Structure 1
């Protein structure tokens, strides 16, 4: 079933053409485009009921993009239908704009990124989607050793021409990220991976970051930097889903005219995405050059204390059904789980929780009517009287925690569930007290977790304001 009314899309084309014809300069055109947006005739709200990391969601987003551009979408980034925009390009951006505001915004954004990244001197950087090389030039000029990727041979030639006389000449490669990662020699690891105006061109983000973080391509303390993207506080008319094609005028023009992929992201989606590959989320911006100066940094070492164990494809698993639940004292993870975070290594009595969130993603969608049963072993003092929250399908239920002498078992019931993810929110990460005997599934139920936490000590974990805590999730 079609998502958009094609007649409506043609009307949008006419509006875009009239705005473009009436614009005197590129900056004036961008100002005009900022005032319009598309109104979808299709039903996009159903995307909010899906797991944004699922194959089902990815398929639906591809359909949204294909209907907007009018052609089949490929998961691989590629050169646009034409390399130069008529009347808009006479040199690498931003110098082709010949407008002080555009030039200043790019220079401020590049400087802000270099400051925020704080990469060691002569550090190795992988720049994904270098375009015409505005950031590449600045990184190489700073003395970093840069591998700059772009699928466009023409744009790579332009970057080579503008950087060939620098003291540290970047290695410019006409390639997609997947091709480069598959063929590169692992004789060194990157200190940072930077997506500058290029994360919007990648559709399968989770697979992309998993490849970078889990296949030995980056250092243990490396950063993943997502910069100059449209990142929304929450869903809106211009981004009515966790992530997907933006529906503002400038994005529609780019997609309709040149077949580009113009994605936007909610903050929550990027935070969850980085968590899935073991990284902490931090968002920074300066209002002097927005949206170019909005940056998300994923830092691996800060987020994940030494004791946290992530469930990965090669993790040890034991055979169990969802009815039997998650035995926290067993070696490995149950076979019905696809992903888990926020849990420590196993001890004889169970596992600690790490930080204020435990996330479980199942291989299959949870039953439509599901009950979460938590059997607690102990509740550490600061958590007593606080709310333990279970979140499924963006619906949350809370229970006030009591001393285990008064109450040990907690039940959470959800209806009309359409997701594979379950989240437990720990109320007061602090010093540990153990709890949760086990996670059990009762009838159409999946098991849940527990809640006492301990702050990781500075000598075990590099700490910042957002560093993780460690707590107890015990199997008695």
Structure 2
């Protein structure tokens, strides 16, 4: 395994980019290998609040520093290519790389299988680029709208789908400006969401675009271990794209991204396969003031406050630990929060539930039967905390289950 070189100035960065471009003359695989051998590092202080305007401005200033541009606009995402040369051989096929083509096909298939959309669903795809996902979806008979800020890509999609029974609707538009009188069953982002200059606003906008039973799919997005909540990615491929083309290349730390979805009224569930790093999809649905902790991929830092999940997928509950935390939608107009709880311990459990400025103690009798506990809300904080003593099934039932468990939470519902 090659040792990664750390670059901390633009002069050396340009040297590495030039080396990578020379490798590109050999093959796409050689280019990708060269870009994997270095990353950019900065000593750049960031404001603590990732939702603040100050944090946003700091990240955009870092983009300006690396890209050499004096501002970011959607025009910076321009992706020129020779239409006639590649109209019948688009990415990933023109790379002639078995690895790149294979990874892309696996990722697209994994996305389609994971979404599991009903026949004839309405789908809006943002940033479809070469149109590979668009083509797959349209060939399946879905009613597809493709939204892209690059007219050349839309021309390519029109060409590739022109003979299909269902015509793809193409819109030349920034994803942030998209509105529709039609509600869609799914919004798809395939390697695209990380180019959005205002991801918070886009997540808010999607509530008006998706049906109540619909979903958002974030596929092959850079949501992984990251040194800060969100911001510019500094790996070789990303800084090459930023410096050379002016593209905005963002990444997201998982706890930040999943918590943000929950805060903005979405319920996330993550699906992954070890067959490919691109086989990585987050499906988000509208929360509608109802949460089943067992069916949600919690932010990792919050997940660690709960007991280990059940291995039986048919057991729809999640056990708390000593102090379990869960983020919910911030803007909830409700007077009460209702918990459906079971206590599998051989004794009663006293618990304290905090929902902001209000806290309430409850006693849950020993019983696997479900019980409902309604807690009043005062100045909702956007999350709840459940604290209690824990017990070990292995010590009580001698069943080898050494987990420390609190209460079993079946669902949480907000009540007006």
TM (normalized to structure 1)? 0.63
1:147 match: 145
| Maintained 8 Å contact 1:192/1:224 | yes
- Rounded to whole Å, the distance in 2 between the matches of 1:28 and 1:470 is 53
Of 323, 341, 344 in structure 1, the residue corresponding to residue 330 of structure 2 is 341
2:316 match: none
1:285 match: 272
| Maintained 8 Å contact 2:270/2:280 | yes
Deviation at 1:19, TM superposition (A): 3.0
1:274 has 2:270 as partner: no
| Maintained 8 Å contact 2:195/2:250 | yes
Deviation at 1:103, TM superposition (A): 1.5
- Rounded to whole Å, the distance in 2 between the matches of 1:267 and 1:294 is 12
1:160 match: 158
Cα distance change of structure 1 residues 59 and 221 upon mapping to structure 2, 3 Å threshold: same
Deviation at 1:167, TM superposition (A): 2.0
Deviation at 1:58, TM superposition (A): 1.4
1:297 match: 283
| Maintained 8 Å contact 2:76/2:245 | no
Deviation at 1:7, TM superposition (A): 7.8
| Maintained 8 Å contact 1:452/1:471 | no
Deviations 1:36-67 (A, max 9, x none): 11121x324x34x22x2222221111111111
Deviation at 1:276, TM superposition (A): 2.5
1:206 has 2:193 as partner: no
2:11 match: 10
SS in 2 for 1:119: coil
SS in 1 for 2:274: coil
| Maintained 8 Å contact 2:353/2:385 | no
- Rounded to whole Å, the distance in 2 between the matches of 1:190 and 1:145 is 9
Cα distance change of structure 1 residues 123 and 10 upon mapping to structure 2, 3 Å threshold: same
Deviation at 1:135, TM superposition (A): 0.7
| Maintained 8 Å contact 2:8/2:41 | no
Cα distance change of structure 1 residues 403 and 262 upon mapping to structure 2, 3 Å threshold: closer
Of 207, 210, 215 in structure 2, the residue corresponding to residue 223 of structure 1 is 215
Deviations 1:331-360 (A, max 9, x none): xxxxxxxx96396722xxxx226699xxxx
After TM superposition, the structure 1 = structure 2 runs for residues 301-320 of structure 1, keeping only pairs within 5 Å, are 301=287, 304-305=289-290
- Rounded to whole Å, the distance in 2 between the matches of 1:389 and 1:180 is 35
1:258 match: 245
Deviation at 1:152, TM superposition (A): 1.0
Farther off after superposition, 196-205 or 28-37: 28-37
- Rounded to whole Å, the distance in 1 between the matches of 2:165 and 2:91 is 22
After TM superposition, the structure 1 = structure 2 runs for residues 191-202 of structure 1, keeping only pairs within 5 Å, are 191-202=185-196
| Maintained 8 Å contact 2:230/2:250 | yes
SS in 1 for 2:40: coil
Ranges in structure 2 where 5+ consecutive residues have no aligned partner:
1-6, 292-327, 342-347, 364-369, 389-407
Report which of the two has the higher share of helix: 2
Deviations 1:291-327 (A, max 9, x none): x3211110115x7329xxxxxxxxxxxxxxxxxxxxx
SS in 2 for 1:37: strand
- Rounded to whole Å, the distance in 2 between the matches of 1:283 and 1:27 is 29
SS in 1 for 2:14: helix
TM (normalized to structure 2)? 0.71
Deviations 1:158-177 (A, max 9, x none): 11111111122211222212
SS in 2 for 1:92: coil
2:121 match: 123
Deviation at 1:118, TM superposition (A): 1.1
Deviation at 1:468, TM superposition (A): 4.3
**What is the CA RMSD across the aligned residues, in angstroms?**
3.9
Cα distance change of structure 1 residues 73 and 241 upon mapping to structure 2, 3 Å threshold: farther
Deviation at 1:284, TM superposition (A): 1.1
SS in 2 for 1:297: strand
Cα distance change of structure 1 residues 251 and 447 upon mapping to structure 2, 3 Å threshold: closer
- Rounded to whole Å, the distance in 2 between the matches of 1:89 and 1:62 is 34
Cα distance change of structure 1 residues 228 and 73 upon mapping to structure 2, 3 Å threshold: farther
| Maintained 8 Å contact 2:354/2:384 | no
